[in-house]
Structure 1
Amino acid sequence: MPNPDLDQMILVFRRLALAAGDRIMEIYNAEDFEVRTKSDASPVTEADLAADALISAGLRAAFPRIPLVTEEQAATHGQSLSTFLIVDPLDGTKEFVKRRGDFTVNIAYVDNGVPLRGVVYAPARGRLFYTRADGASVEETGDFDPDIPGPVTPLHVAVPDNDALMVVASKSHRDPATDAYIARYRVRDLKSAGSSLKFCLVATGEADLYPRLGRTMEWDTAAGDAVLRGAGGAMVRFDDHTPFRYGKPGFENPFFIAHAPGVDLKPAG
């Protein structure tokens, strides 16, 4: 498989994420939209499917030799891969259905099990995060012209104070186990956020720690993980704090912790 042009890749990711975000917001702002239940009991809306069709077509046209994995196409889930594109066209569907705004478009490039490049776009929040071709992460501001990138702010994780940590946790998937784990830290502020925005809050320094003790899939995390890595952060397994890898069987994740370096991670037990 040839090495892709990373400058071109990020431009394509950005353009497709913005276009998908526009389509999602058209449906989000409509008086009503269809919601169905998938076989795993999770919701799916017409916005998920419309965004997926748009992004998948664009990626397959631009990168025909790189395998594609996307949440909404079950036929892509049986592959065994180490280098691939991975998409969650609408992460945070529950937030979308409840019209709470914390949903994102996620597109990532994984190479040899590591998410090297990614874009996270939160259209209802007007926030756009991505990794540049050099691997550094930025947040773009402005009008989000699909063809001309606007001004960017370089991202870097905060230097954490272990006596006063800023923690972010899931808005829709908090449980007693997560709360018990967070209680082991000295916490100055605890925020709730939906979707992959939690990774981006650690990347921007708005949070130091994001633990997830619950089921996630690689398409939920790859783009946010790429943005976090490009800002100097890390994502590790919850059980042993070893590095996180992608291309796992079934693309299912173990529990994990996303954090700024310097956080004194507590053991799982």
Structure 2
Amino acid sequence: MLTKICKLARIAGRSIMKFYYTNKKINFVYKIDQSPITNADKISHQIIKSGLTDISPNIPILSEEDSKTYCKSWNIYWLVDPLDGTKEFLKKNGEFTVNISLIEYGKPVLGVIYAPFFNILYYAFNQQAWKIDEKGYKKEISVVHSKQPLFVISRSHLNSKLNIFLEKIKFYKLKELGSSLKFCYVADGQAQFYPRFGNTYIWDTAAGHAIVNAAGGSVKIYGTNIDLDYSLSTRKSLINPYFLVSS
């Protein structure tokens, strides 16, 4: 099944790149939360929804582009962000991804992240994480510690809380990065921390969470030792609390 999910993410990614490379202006509208949505988001959603239904017809799907049609009683479900980093997609800087994860009783047990512009695939299952680079080379990945850690931060969501957090740290390096690639950087040892002090939704984090966990890292609610949780039955909303991804 994991192989099929990886293939599905690549197919969705190829559909996104057709829009990315078009000479025509990409039309978009803003949703209620002021995040943009394009035709690329919608087409990717349809491809993934159809593919997952064929692969596992008995497992329900919660996607960012169809987020009102879920049941709190779902214990096992697919969680999908068809185009994570739509702002980066519109800026055409390449830092956007396709995210697919499988949730079982609040835990992300499978995660696939595909960055179509870079043609890099990250995936994890059963406490193992891998990366397939643009040349097709596959390797198992794990977190790496550093005395001068690299913090990856959101390119589009900088705020004062982040500045206060960083003021407490003496020696560090900083890199701005879009989408769930921040999780991937921690998972494969390129970075050590990803602090987030702003709104994210569960589809933004689940696939990256699975990959970081399998690579030996953690995704904790900020200031606690509690993992981000994806149980629909206990949630008041689909928005995550602030969190810290660590190697």
TM-score normalised by L of structure 1? 0.86
Between stretches 70-79 and 110-119, larger displacement belongs to: 70-79
Task: Report the AA paired with residue 175 of structure 1.
Answer: N
Percentage of pairs with the same residue: 36
Q: Where does structure 2 lack aligned partners over 5 or more consecutive residues?
A: none
In the alignment, which of 234, 237, 248 is matched to residue 221 of structure 2? 237
What secondary structure is seen at the aligned counterpart in 2 of 1:24? helix
Output one character per residue of 1:47-76: Cα deviation in whole Å (capped at 9) or x when no partner: 000000000011012111112100001333
Output one character per residue of 1:90-113: Cα deviation in whole Å (capped at 9) or x when no partner: 000000111111100000011111
Distance 2:85 2:140 in 1: 25
Residue 96 of structure 2 corresponds to 103
TM-score normalised by L of structure 2? 0.94
Between stretches 184-193 and 23-32, larger displacement belongs to: 184-193
Shift of 1:142: 4.8
Does the CA contact (< 8 Å) of 2:119 and 2:134 recur in 1?
Answer: no
Task: Report the AA paired with residue 144 of structure 2.
Answer: A
Does the CA contact (< 8 Å) of 2:14 and 2:116 recur in 1?
Answer: yes
What secondary structure is seen at the aligned counterpart in 1 of 2:127? coil
Task: Report the AA paired with residue 146 of structure 2.
Answer: P
Q: Where does structure 1 lack aligned partners over 5 or more consecutive residues?
A: 1-7, 144-149, 261-269
What secondary structure is seen at the aligned counterpart in 2 of 1:75? coil
Residue 19 of structure 2 corresponds to 27
Shift of 1:78: 4.9
What secondary structure is seen at the aligned counterpart in 1 of 2:185? helix
Residue 159 of structure 1 corresponds to 145
Does the CA contact (< 8 Å) of 1:106 and 1:223 recur in 2?
Answer: yes
Output one character per residue of 1:23-48: Cα deviation in whole Å (capped at 9) or x when no partner: 00000111222111112211000000
In the alignment, which of 178, 189, 192 is matched to residue 173 of structure 2? 189
Shift of 1:239: 3.5
Does the CA contact (< 8 Å) of 1:210 and 1:259 recur in 2?
Answer: yes
User: Structure 1 residue runs of 4+, over 6 Å off?
Assistant: none
What secondary structure is seen at the aligned counterpart in 2 of 1:50? helix
Residues 94, 80 of structure 1: CA spacing in aligned structure 2 closer, same or farther, 3 A cutoff? farther
